């Protein structure tokens, strides 16, 4: 849904939360920009935890998803199914990669078990959206 907000809705709020998401990810991962405040020894910033910025990225992606969901509800059409195609494709690629790449057998068992929950959530969400879409029409 966040991708739908970025593609379909281009206003100041969407751009702001997209920039906040990207900056928080850049500064929370081990990049050169993330190490810069620690190298400069800035007060208060150099003693903070970079994982606290993950709250900003989670909040930003949640707001972007809400914008995309709001857009999908207001403008029913082809773009409504777009996020499901993307997420379904990513889940299919991750499941297929278990068989394509040379992964140790004990890791394949764990990976298969770990992919059950995301696929279940995806199927449940897709069923709810399709049911909601059919009831609305």
pLDDT in tens, 52-64: 788 889 999 999 9
Closest CA to 86 of 13, 5, 12: 5
Q: What is the pLDDT of residue 78?
A: 58
Looking at the predicted structure, is the pLDDT value of residue 32 above 60? yes
CA-closest candidate to residue 69, choices 8, 23, 115, 16: 8
- 99-120: average pLDDT: 82
**Whole-number Cα distances in Å, 28 to 24, 25, 34, 42, 61:** 6, 5, 7, 17, 15
pLDDT tens for each residue of 40-54: 776 766 556 667 788
Q: In percent, how much of the chain has pLDDT > 70?
A: 88
How do the domains of the chain map onto residue ranges? Answer: 1-75, 81-137
pLDDT band at 17 (very low <50, low <70, confident <90, very high): very high
Per mean pLDDT, which range of 4-13, 63-72, 120-129 is the poorest? 4-13
Tokens of 60: 């930003």
* Average pLDDT over every residue of 94-119: 81
């Amino acid at each position: 849904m966040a991708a739908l907000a970025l593609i379909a809705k281009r206003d100041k709020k969407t751009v702001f939360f997209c920039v906040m998401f990207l900056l928080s990810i850049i500064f929370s991962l081990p990049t050169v920009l993330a190490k810069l405040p620690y190298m400069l020894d800035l007060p208060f910033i150099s003693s903070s935890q970079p994982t606290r910025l993950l709250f900003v990225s989670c909040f930003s992606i949640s707001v972007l998803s809400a914008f995309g969901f709001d857009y999908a509800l207001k403008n029913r059409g082809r773009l409504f199914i777009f996020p499901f195609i993307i997420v379904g494709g990513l889940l299919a690629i991750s499941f297929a990669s278990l068989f394509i790449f040379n992964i140790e057998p004990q890791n394949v068992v764990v990976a298969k078990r770990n992919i059950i929950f995301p696929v279940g959530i995806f199927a449940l969400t897709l069923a709810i959206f399709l049911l909601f879409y059919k009831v609305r029409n």
